[in-house]
Structure 1
Amino acid sequence: MDSENLIGQFLRARRELVDPAELGLAVGPRRRVAGLRREEVALLAGVSTDYYVRLEQGRERNPSAQVVDALARALQLDDDAVTHLHELARPGPARRRRTGQRERVSRQLAQLMDAWPQTPALVLGRCLTVLAGNPLGKALFGGHPHSDDLVRLVFLDAEAREFYPDWESVAANTVGGLRSAAGLDPDDPLLIETVGELSVKSPEFRQLWARHDIRQKTNGTKRFHHRLVGDLTLHYESLTVNSAAGQQLVVYQADPGSPSEEALALLGSLTTAESPREIGKRIPTEN
């Protein structure tokens, strides 16, 4: 993965997604590039073509905040993508990483999740691997070959499209969330391994990764079709774990009195009645 020109990769990918016709630009048979030309982005952003070309080629790496905002408007970026572009323009110091270091969940956080027997909760790592979960959280995603890895579950599980009725949306948000979670550390070995494997095994992942979409996993609503309890519509909140960089606590809940709340209650009763192997793969918590 090329980490030398992150801002150039992002700008190039994003301009290829903009429809020039929506901006009132002429689209004719002589247009041979997808999306906007470099000179069109420069014109829309109010910068010289030469300066923009240097940005894409990595010969200019520190545009001002005003230029970044102008480029974001020209490329029609949403809030998450704008924030990401600003971060690329002002990267922090390189991270020092210890080879083989495992992500760990604190015992206190694991105990907190276990105190929510009616609320599914997971802790996700920087590449959306499941580091820990309470019994109901594990049961919600249990029974799949990749229950401990939400990215691989979406793209490599044969039943993923049944488990996620809105699979296309989930897939796009998952890849955007992976890019956001990876942040400015594209040389992370775990990220390289994940992206490399999925790019080979999943054409859908490969296409979505090339878009450079950014999705902050904050909150939303997601539909599931669980093999044991049927359809569920759950709201989720994603909270940053301040004591562990890169970790997210994700908590799911159903609307009170809804069929989904009843289904969650049933799943909870099955969780206590069946063994962990029957519910799905249990994920060990680090002390």
Structure 2
Amino acid sequence: MVDGFGRQREALRHFLRSRRARLSPDDVGLLATGRRHTPGLRREEVAVLAGVSASWYTWLEQGRDIKVSDSVLDAISHALRLDDTERVHLYRLAGTNPPQLTSWGAAPREASRLQPVVDGWLPAPAFVVDRYWNVLAANSNAMSLLGVPSHGQNYLMSFFTDPSARVRFPDWDGMAARLVGQFRVQGARFPGDVHFDMLAQELCCVDEAFADLWARHETCNAARTRVRVRLTDQQGARYEHLILSLLENSDLRLMLYMPMPQVQGAGLDLVVS
């Protein structure tokens, strides 16, 4: 009986062979030599492209129990022309933690496919942000009721610099603390990305409240919270706010707002969270 480790190694063998078989020497800029009895690249050619020995690559493809570094897996991924999903799959089959995806071309494409999703959430608000909280998709009520800025603008920058946000959200202080804590947690996922520090410094310069909260070094990773929204002086609404990560290792997050039952009465103070 094959155990879990054996099945994983067998899957690794089949995966590497299938990725090798789909490529030709022309695909990777090599000169084809000799007669080929099977389609695809030879193991020796993959080894040359990856900068490893032919014996070592053969052992890997055979599923032998050898140690593999991230740099070597990256080199093999490049040699076999793996996309982001295939690269993560290779890491897992090799028993290594997969890398964070950094292919920025995929984010806008995925966000464009999510626009019908957020529009379909109407009349409740919904929007999509990237790792920096830049808005990539939003429905009309997210913009009108929550003040979500237009496509490409930063939600955090809008929340902390737009005076209407402090009027729109009765619990602005609590929301601000959660947002800063979530932003700090998100930044820790990408320790080599200096853009987080640059954005934090910019926010500290333009808004004193953000600067005070940032200096506390508090964290928040709540995926479900309650939000109150002031519609008029005498009317408010409350929502369950859900944050959903989209696709494994994806930077995109879907913000969904689910309406909660309204408290009957004459005033916003009766709308409780």
- Normalised to the residue count of structure 2, the TM-score between the two structures is 0.52
Q: 1:149 maps to which residue?
A: 154
Shift of 1:172: 0.6
Q: How does 1:22-101 map to 2 (within 5 A)?
A: 97=102
Task: From the CA coordinates, give the structure whose radius of gyration is larger.
Answer: 2
Pair 239,229 (structure 1): closer, same or farther in 2 beyond 3 Å: farther
Alignment of 1:136-215 (within 5 A): 136-142=141-147, 148-215=153-220
Deviations 1:165-198 (A, max 9, x none): 1111111101001112223324424323311111
2:238 — aligned with what? 233
What displacement does 1:246 show? 1.9
* Residue 208 to residue 143, structure 1, CA distance change in 2 (3 Å): closer
1:220 maps to what in 2? 225
For residues 215 and 183 of structure 1, the distance between their equivalents in structure 2, rounded to whole angstroms, comes to 12
Alpha-carbon distance between aligned partners in 1 of 2:161 and 2:133, rounded to the nearest angstrom: 14
Q: Gaps (5+ residues) in structure 1? A: 1-91, 260-287
Name the CA distance, whole Å, in 2 between partners of 1:208 and 1:161. 16
Q: Given the superposition, is the C-alpha separation of residues 111 and 213 from structure 1 closer, same or farther in structure 2, using an over 3 Å criterion?
A: same
Matched pairs, number: 169
The answer (yes or no) to whether the contact 1:145–1:153 under 8 Å persists in 2 is: no
Please state if 1:125 is matched with 2:162. Answer: no
Displacement of 1:227 in angstroms is 6.4
Change (3 A) 1:140 1:102: farther
Find 1:255's aligned residue among 256, 260, 263: 260
With over 3 angstroms needed to count, the CA separation of the structure-2 counterparts of 1:227 and 1:182, relative to structure 1, is: farther
Q: Distance in 2 between matches of 1:101 and 1:227?
A: 41
What is the letter of the counterpart of residue 253 of structure 1? Answer: M
Corresponding position of 1:134: 139
Letter in 2 for 1:201: V
Q: CA deviation at 1:106?
A: 3.6
Distance 1:230 1:129 in 2: 30
Structure 1 runs (4+) greater than 6 angstroms displaced? 143-147
Give unpaired runs (5+ residues) of structure 2.
1-96, 265-273
Report 1 or 2 for greater relative contact order, CA contacts < 8 Å, sequence distance ≥ 6.
1
The equivalent of 1:111 in structure 2 is: 116
Partners of 2:101 and 2:250 within 8 A in 1: no
- 3-state secondary structure, aligned to 2:123: coil
Cα gap change, 1:102 to 1:205, in 2 (>3 Å): farther
| Alpha-carbon separation, structure 2, partners of 1:186 and 1:155 | 24
Task: Tell me how far 1:156 sits from its aligned partner.
Answer: 1.3
8 Å contact from structure 2 (residues 149, 158) kept in 1 = yes
CA shift, 1:248, in A, is: 1.0
Q: Secondary structure at the match of 1:151?
A: helix
Cα deviation code 1:217-250 (max 9, x no counterpart): 4011011224699522111111110156121111
Write the distance in 1 (CA, Å) between the matches of 2:115 and 2:149.
Answer: 22
Give the match's secondary structure for 2:163: coil
Separation in 1, partners of 2:227, 2:148: 19
